[in-house]
Structure 1
Amino acid sequence: MNDITEIEGARMQSQDTRIAVTSAETLKQLGLQEADLPMIQEVATRIQEGNPLSVAEFGRDVAEHTSAYADSLLDQVRNSDLDEAGTKLTQVVAVAQSLNLGALTNRRSRIPVIGPVIDRMRMGSGKFMAQFDTTRDQIEKLVSEVSQTQQNISDRNKGLEEMFSAVREEHRLLGVHIAAGKQRLVEIKGHADSLRVQIENEPARLQELSDLDALAASLDKRVGDLMALQQSAMQSLPMIRMIQANNQMLVDKFHTIREITVPAWKRQFMLSLTLNEQRNAVQLATQIDDATNDLLKRNAELLHRNSVETAKANQRLVIDVETLKAVQNTLIATVQDVIKIQQEGISQRRAAEKEIQGMRLDLQKRLSRVEDKKELH
């Protein structure tokens, strides 16, 4: 009667635990809903107590799909199209920077007065227009080459969206298998507990109990692996979104360069060329005046500096007061140090005299005792 009661108690505990495994909170943690309960029950029936192979194969198909998507995700990261697009855009910037407009104004001849004229002859507009045409052709060719890469990246983002949906479904299926595995694990452990109660009366069922315990341990390990795979799938979702975002930013940046930056750069170059020609003309007219003004200012500054330094030198004493103070302070310090050393020497000699006198008396006393001993003998 007690055995029956214990068996019934183990069965009730198994049912309670099954309810806990499929509770709303547990389903939420696994990314599931109550609508997934029928599928959980169906998947749980795949685990057979008498078939250890059913545990080894449990969830393998879902795990294989997850691994395949992970490999595909890594291929997306390694794809050379991203590097190629970045390289082409870098070349666009390098070509644009190679046409240095600063050369029109920064590299000036140092020859007075006629220097600007030489600069204008050396840096004519025809030469820079030719350079501009070459640069423009290079940029347009690079932009054309990137167009195909841009289309490939856009198409890849569509594939990544499909991958995102598939990985999310894999996450759900893994959750179903985890919930089913936990449910069957509870049932198997409950069956094993009931066998432990009966084992005293039926020793022949000891092997059956051992098999159940081994099956429960294997299933527990399998559920743990599935939980790790589900977490990996969850981590893949934000990775896919980040890759999509990076791809889209690269596509948007290319649109900006092609449709806004490059045309604006061409317009600004023409404006810069015209403005620099005007600046050359203005500098040609003003350079002489600037040189004259600079010369007058430098002469005035030099006169002021020479006058001030001359006046200071004339008013300066032969020996500075600060020098006299420093010498006097050093002399006083020297006298004080000498006096201090002499006083210390006197003190040391007095102390030495006392010690010598003491040694003398001690020696005399000891010698007198020796003489007394000799007379006694």
Structure 2
Amino acid sequence: MSTEIQKKAQDALAMVEEVNAVILPEPGEAGAVISLEEADAPVGTEIRKRMDEIDMGDTNSIVSFGSAAQAELQEISQSMLQGVRNKDVGPAGDSLRGIVTTIRGFSVSELDVRRERTWWEKLLGRAAPFAKFTARFEQVQGQIDRITDDLLKHEHTLLKDIKSLDMLYEKTLAFYDELALYIAAGEAKLKELDGSIIPTKEAEVQAAPENDQVMKAQELRDLRAARDDLERRVHDLKLTRQVTMQSLPSIRLVQENDKSLVTKINSTLVNTVPLWETQLAQAVTIQRSAEAAAAVRDANDLTNELLTANARNLRESNKMIREEMERGVFDIEAVKQANADLIGTIEESLQIADEGKARRAKAEEELKKMEAELRDTLASAKARRDGVGDNAGTAVPGA
């Protein structure tokens, strides 16, 4: 809240205290109308003055009897209605609800800078949480400034309404007391009519010559009709007084509500709004501290990770290097395996050679056997040829 608005709120506080200090008079005993006989001299004079306004020969004076008392009250009412004719209903209440909604709409979860943006937020290109929070804070601050200024306007309007209601209440109370005088005057006039004027007129009708009796009788009927009109008018004034009496607490109730609302608005401007702004400022400071702490923590975590990773890598690389340094040109296992493979190869070669030699010896035996069998067969065939003579065998070359 700006300094100017805060100063206006402090200045308005004096006006609030002023209107709250006003004590309005209370109406007299309900329904108490003092008759002319019971009234003291000043009140009796006022009652007779209003009785003089009644002209039994003038119907308008009877119909309008007591209407003058309402003229000033009507002027005040019309003035107030003129001022509120185009005014929105409940703007101050809407402003209070608006400022509460604005503050309640502030989400603490949006302060978390580590919160991952949702898929929908990324799709819409929404700002990161802290950037969104900062923009939200600026918007709230602007709303508070506008609403506080608006509340000040409503406060001044309500203060004027309260003062107008003070005047309306006083004039309504005066009208209520004035009606009592008119009712007393009307009842005194009716009593006078019933007690002396009408009986005297009746006597005049009876005593009048026959030629004048018709006119006198008509005057008596007119007087009685006027008397009945006056009685109805007095009854209407009694009803009006009763309604007026009922409007007095209504005016007080509306006024008390306005006073309560003005007090609430002023308390909101002077106390609540600065407290909200302080809390918001603290929230921003706390968030910035949390962000700085998170950055320091991330840096420390990175340093620890680098130290751990470097130590692990150094150990692994040192092990690899030392193992390679301690190895010979050829690994003994490799040499041993190669030697075993060579021995196996030699043994296999000797075994294959022995098997080949054995197979060759066996083959030679087979060849000799086959050769012997072939010689025997050829010899047998030659012998048979020489003995028979007619069977020619196949000659064997070189035989």
TM bucket (normalised to shorter chain) is: 0.5 to 0.7
Aligned counterpart, 1:268: 279
With normalisation by structure 2, the TM-score equals 0.53
Q: Determine helix, strand or coil for the equivalent of 1:235.
A: helix
Q: Residue 144 of structure 1: which of 146, 149, 161 is its match?
A: 149
Pair 1:45 & 2:52 matched: yes
Q: Percent identity?
A: 27
Shift in Å at residue 130 of structure 1? 3.6
Q: Determine helix, strand or coil for the equivalent of 1:27.
A: coil
Unaligned regions of 5+ residues in structure 1, if any? 1-24, 112-120, 285-377
Q: Determine helix, strand or coil for the equivalent of 1:80.
A: coil
Change (3 A) 1:141 1:53: closer
Contact 2:176 2:245 in 1 (8 A): yes
Shift in Å at residue 154 of structure 1? 0.9
Shift in Å at residue 218 of structure 1? 0.8
Give distance in 2, aligned partners of 1:29 and 1:188.
Answer: 15
Contact 1:95 1:135 in 2 (8 A): yes
Give distance in 1, aligned partners of 2:88 and 2:158.
Answer: 7
Aligned counterpart, 1:215: 226
Change (3 A) 1:127 1:200: closer
Shift in Å at residue 109 of structure 1? 6.6
Contact 1:62 1:170 in 2 (8 A): yes
Shift in Å at residue 270 of structure 1? 4.6
Change (3 A) 1:252 1:167: same
Counterparts of residues 120-135 of structure 1 (less than 5 Å)? 123-124=129-130, 127-135=132-140
Give distance in 1, aligned partners of 2:233 and 2:84.
Answer: 30
Shift in Å at residue 211 of structure 1? 1.8
Give distance in 2, aligned partners of 1:212 and 1:95.
Answer: 72
Change (3 A) 1:77 1:175: farther
Q: Residue 174 of structure 2: which of 166, 169, 190 is its match?
A: 169
Contact 2:34 2:180 in 1 (8 A): no
Give distance in 2, aligned partners of 1:60 and 1:67.
Answer: 10
Shift in Å at residue 76 of structure 1? 7.0
Give distance in 2, aligned partners of 1:167 and 1:93.
Answer: 38
Q: Residue 97 of structure 1: which of 97, 104, 121 is its match?
A: 104
Change (3 A) 1:33 1:169: farther
Change (3 A) 1:52 1:110: closer
Contact 1:73 1:240 in 2 (8 A): no
Structure with the greater alpha carbon radius of gyration: 2
Contact 1:81 1:153 in 2 (8 A): no
Contact 2:111 2:133 in 1 (8 A): no
Counterparts of residues 48-67 of structure 1 (less than 5 Å)? 48-67=55-74
Give distance in 2, aligned partners of 1:193 and 1:102.
Answer: 93
Pair 1:234 & 2:241 matched: no
Aligned counterpart, 1:308: none
Give distance in 2, aligned partners of 1:263 and 1:224.
Answer: 58
- RMSD of aligned Cα (Å): 3.9
Contact 1:181 1:219 in 2 (8 A): yes
Change (3 A) 1:26 1:188: farther
Give distance in 2, aligned partners of 1:79 and 1:123.
Answer: 44
Give distance in 2, aligned partners of 1:276 and 1:103.
Answer: 13
Q: Determine helix, strand or coil for the equivalent of 2:133.
A: helix
Give distance in 2, aligned partners of 1:224 and 1:194.
Answer: 25
Q: Could you say which structure has the higher helix fraction?
A: 1
| Deviation readout 1:43-87 (Å, 9 max, x if unpaired) | 112223333332133222224444444555656776626622222
Contact 2:159 2:262 in 1 (8 A): yes
Shift in Å at residue 195 of structure 1? 3.6
Aligned counterpart, 1:349: none
Shift in Å at residue 166 of structure 1? 1.4
Give distance in 1, aligned partners of 2:39 and 2:134.
Answer: 69
